[in-house]
Amino acid sequence: MGNENGGEQGLATITYRLQGLGCDCEGQIVEKKLKKLKGVANYSLNPVTFKMKISYDPTLVTTDDIQKAIVKGGAKPVLA
């Protein structure tokens, strides 16, 4: 779906703008949810723009799984 590109060692990368975050601490809640997903290799969140870049193994986790984890963390993922 969307912004998936092949990355290192078979990893794909997707970037979302997270809507609904009021502060950086809420972004940390989203990061904790992503950390629990098997297959998410790396993620980074810009605390100013709330853009999150995620590298993941598409054989272990889907973009739907990632989006559900972001929603459970309290944000709405919008492809960036």
Query: Which pLDDT tens digit goes with each residue over 33-48?
Result: 999 999 999 999 998 8
Residue 69: CA atoms inside 13 Å, Cβ hemisphere, count? 24
According to the model, what pLDDT value does residue 17 have?
96
Kindly state the percentage of the chain with pLDDT values over 90. Answer: 71
| The model's pTM | 0.85
